[in-house]
Amino acid sequence: MRVPFRALPRPGAGGHHEVLFVLAECLPFAIALAVLTIEFTPAHVLYTGPLLVATPALAAVAMGPKGTLAAVALAVAVSITTATYNGAWGSQQVYTNFLALFLVSLASLATSSTVRKRREDELEQVRRIAVAAQEAVLRPVPVRLGPLRMAGMYLAAETGAQIGGDLYEAVETRYGVRVIVGDVRGKGLPAVRAAAAVLGAFREAAHYEDELVGVINRCEAALLRDAAVPGVIDPDVLAEGFVTALVAQVPEGAVVEVVNRGHPPPLLLRDGTVRALMPARPLPPLGLAEFVTGPPGTPDRHSFVPGDRLLLYTDGVIEARDGGGEFFALPEAMEAVEAAPEAQEFLNELHRGLLRHTRHGLADDAAMFLVDR
């Protein structure tokens, strides 16, 4: 499943660009107010006609057709009011001002509509490119692989985004179904590049590496290799050594094997009770292989029988807070929606609970991947 796009931000949104955009929207109405002030005070000796004529043109730059039309209506109303107050009806100057205002208003409305259409076309193109990029990095989750049913969900915290540093994938191999979930500690395009490097290595290694440890080691090697190439992955992404990842394998037996590299532990739902599958030996995230001591080790093995549900997730889920600063209680939420028969429905219920908890205000990207036995 893919979470639908949120509304795309208007151009310039964010920081000082947002302030400038708001000022540009207010300028035509500020000019109209200034004209009224001049005309109803002793300063009315100043010639204000050109100022009012300019308001539709200024509105067309920052606002759409409706905003421009509102500026036109305001300019006409101010012109009529001031002409009546000053007893200027019948003078050539008044009719010249109205003719100029009429012509500029027509041009401004046409320009505003054209600019708006161009912006909408550009945003739609960006949307299509983003969808294509998402499909390349985060492919649609198969509904069923072997004896497993599964579903995935990605929630981007950034407005207008649909992809970030969280990642997941599942493939069916001769060793069983292999799954990866990870979280790049970074933002923006550098995090997306790091996620793509890890996913690309997993998709290849999952089919050829006999051992699950070898699969995740290949992912780490790809990440470090791409980070060493200038411009591929920003070194700041790995400055703190962070790409947490977890790979799991479901072979023929009633077990699940897990290798956890600094990632939140999977949660297993069985008979209405949730328990975390904690690693027997904590390991550092990808990118910090030099801190691994001792032999490579073996995967942790846990019972995984028919009817069990295994939830893999990123920390954006469990670190989501409500208005009072309380974290989202994921285990309790899983137990509350246990009765959901389908994997996707189960995730949808968790999604709704997460949005209710945060009041639709996620502070970080969040991903969930459910595996039903």
For residue 99, is it within any domain? yes
What is the tens place of the pLDDT at every residue in 260-280? 999 999 999 999 999 999 999
Question: Are the beta carbons of 65 and 106 closer than 8 angstroms?
Answer: no
Question: Are the beta carbons of 172 and 18 closer than 8 angstroms?
Answer: no
* Percentage with pLDDT > 90 across the chain: 37
What is the tens place of the pLDDT at every residue in 146-183? 889 999 998 876 555 556 678 999 999 999 999 999 99
Q: Which residues lie below 8 Å from residue 190, measured CB to CB, with a gap of 6+?
A: 233, 234, 236, 237
| 28 and 167 inside one domain | no
| 152 and 125 inside one domain | no
What is the tens place of the pLDDT at every residue in 120-130? 888 788 777 76
CA distance 190 to 237: 7
Query: Longest Cα pair distance anywhere in the chain, in angstroms?
Result: 97
Question: Which position has the higher pLDDT, 56 or 270?
Answer: 270
Number of domain units in the chain: 2
> Nearest Cα to 282, choosing from 259, 302, 266?
259
For residue 9, is it within any domain? no
| 121 and 147 inside one domain | no
Query: What confidence score (pLDDT) does residue 35 get?
Result: 81
Three-class DSSP category at 158: coil
| 259 and 279 inside one domain | yes
For the record, the structure tokens of 147 come out as 């004896």
Mark which of 96, 113, 132 sits at the end of a domain.
132
- The CATH number linked to 196 is 3.60.40.10
| 161 and 42 inside one domain | no
Question: Are the beta carbons of 317 and 354 closer than 8 angstroms?
Answer: yes
| 60 and 188 inside one domain | no
Question: Which position has the higher pLDDT, 132 or 271?
Answer: 271
For residue 6, is it within any domain? no
> Nearest Cα to 28, choosing from 68, 77, 88, 1?
68
| 56 and 164 inside one domain | no
Overall average pLDDT of the 79-108 stretch: 78
Residue 353 has a CB neighbour count (10 Å cut-off) of 18
CA distance 371 to 145: 10
Quote the DSSP letter at residue 232.
Answer: T
Q: Which residues lie below 8 Å from residue 289, measured CB to CB, with a gap of 6+?
A: 217, 220, 224
* 366-372 sheet: strands from edge to edge: 144-145, 148-155, 366-372, 309-313, 267-270, 273-276
Question: Is the pLDDT reported for residue 217 higher than 90?
Answer: yes
| 112 and 145 inside one domain | no
For residue 151, is it within any domain? yes
What is the separation, in whole angstroms, between the first and last Cα of the chain?
A: 19
For residue 2, is it within any domain? no
Overall average pLDDT of the 325-351 stretch: 93
Mark which of 112, 132, 152 sits at the end of a domain.
132
| 222 and 77 inside one domain | no
| 89 and 192 inside one domain | no
Overall average pLDDT of the 319-331 stretch: 91
Q: Which domain holds residue 117?
A: 15-132
| Phi-psi label, residue 360: left if phi above 0, alpha if psi -120 to 50, beta otherwise | left
- Which pairs from 326-330 meet CB under 8 Å and 24+ separation? 328/353, 328/354, 328/357, 328/358, 330/267
For residue 68, is it within any domain? yes
Question: Are the beta carbons of 364 and 165 closer than 8 angstroms?
Answer: no
| 192 and 292 inside one domain | yes
Please compute, for residue 85, the number of CA atoms within 13 A of its CA located in the half-sphere on the CB side: 15
Query: What confidence score (pLDDT) does residue 305 get?
Result: 95
Mark which of 111, 132, 153 sits at the end of a domain.
132
Rounded to two decimals, the pTM is: 0.67
Question: Is the pLDDT reported for residue 248 higher than 60?
Answer: yes
For residue 318, is it within any domain? yes
Place of tokens 């032999």: 295
Torsion of CA 222, 228, 232, 233, to 10 degrees: 80
CA dist 261 → 225, 250, 315 (Å): 18, 18, 13
Quote the DSSP letter at residue 86.
Answer: T
Question: Are the beta carbons of 177 and 203 closer than 8 angstroms?
Answer: no
Question: Are the beta carbons of 53 and 100 closer than 8 angstroms?
Answer: yes
| 105 and 145 inside one domain | no
For residue 4, is it within any domain? no
